[in-house]
Chains A and B, each alone.
Chain A
């Protein structure tokens, strides 16, 4: 069964600092997604990564995918308070089409 593991699960960081969230998965896939969820809100799509070596950036967030290592990273640059949220990675394996989510990383950015 596909396993999607994120770490860390909880992250508290100071404004202005950099950090990386990791997403490992256990089966072959070239489709990986990052979502953001604010407390009490729905999920918002951040990045869609569809090939090995894909890198996408939006503002202070940059996501990358290494399909050989079965690893995606979400890098945060110079964090600001507005980035506080829970971040989920999700993977769609080759052998079926159902999206499986990681447990989420709850990010808190402190002033």
Chain B
């Protein structure tokens, strides 16, 4: 049973397109996150979200928006994709905001051409 799953695993698209990445967790966790890992392997938090509060990293462009239909899902929508958006995006979840360890999904490798 996959704890945190993401789809798609690979996403190749053209500049200017709009795309979404889906994330689901079956751990019953309250909080979910999106991270971006660049080509140098540096991990940066983009959003953290529970059913009450969305925290946005101020450096994230407003072209990125998380959407949560329910506690088990946190999707990432990206508008007007740019070359610099190419990266691996990881979804994660934890029982409570960051107090406990976070469990990561398999990642989505986004390539913008």
Q: Which A residues have a C-beta under 8 Å from some C-beta of B?
A: 31, 33, 35, 37, 41-45, 48, 86, 88, 92, 97-101, 103-104, 106
What are 10 of the A-B contact pairs (CB < 8 Å)?
A: A31-B98, A35-B104, A43-B90, A43-B104, A48-B101, A98-B55, A98-B57, A99-B33, A99-B98, A101-B43
Which chain B residues numbered 69 to 105 have a C-beta less than 8 Å away from chain A? 90, 92, 97-105
Query: Which residues of the partner chain A approach B48 to less than 8 Å between Cβ atoms?
Result: 97-98
Q: Give how many A-B residue pairs fall within 8 Å (CB-CB).
A: 51
B45 CB to nearest A CB, Å: 5
Whether B99 lies near A42 (C-beta < 8 A) is no
Interface of B is mostly: loop
Q: Which B residues have a C-beta under 8 Å from some C-beta of A?
A: 33, 40-45, 48, 55, 57, 90, 92, 97-107
The 10 A-B pairs of least Cβ separation, nearest first, read A97-B98, A101-B43, A97-B97, A43-B104, A45-B101, A42-B104, A92-B98, A42-B106, A48-B101, A99-B98
Whether B41 lies near A99 (C-beta < 8 A) is no
B37 CB to nearest A CB, Å: 9
Query: Which residues of the partner chain B approach A92 to less than 8 Å between Cβ atoms?
Result: 98-99
With A43-B90, A97-B48, A98-B55 as known contacts, state yes or no: A104 contacts B41, CB within 8 Å.
yes
With A43-B90, A86-B41, A103-B41 as known contacts, state yes or no: A98 contacts B98, CB within 8 Å.
yes
Whether B99 lies near A31 (C-beta < 8 A) is yes
Whether A42 lies near B55 (C-beta < 8 A) is no
Cross-chain contact of A100 among B45, B92, B102, B105 (Cβ < 8 A): B45
User: Could you list 17 further interchain pairs (A-B, Cβ under 8 angstroms) beyond the known A41-B106, A42-B104?
Assistant: A33-B101, A35-B104, A37-B41, A42-B105, A43-B90, A45-B102, A48-B100, A97-B48, A97-B97, A98-B45, A98-B48, A99-B33, A99-B45, A104-B41, A104-B42, A104-B43, A106-B41
By beta carbon, the residue of chain A nearest B100 is A48
**Complex-state Cα separation, A100 to B98, whole angstroms:** 10
Whether A97 lies near B99 (C-beta < 8 A) is yes
**Complex-state Cα separation, A74 to B9, whole angstroms:** 31
**Complex-state Cα separation, A86 to B37, whole angstroms:** 13
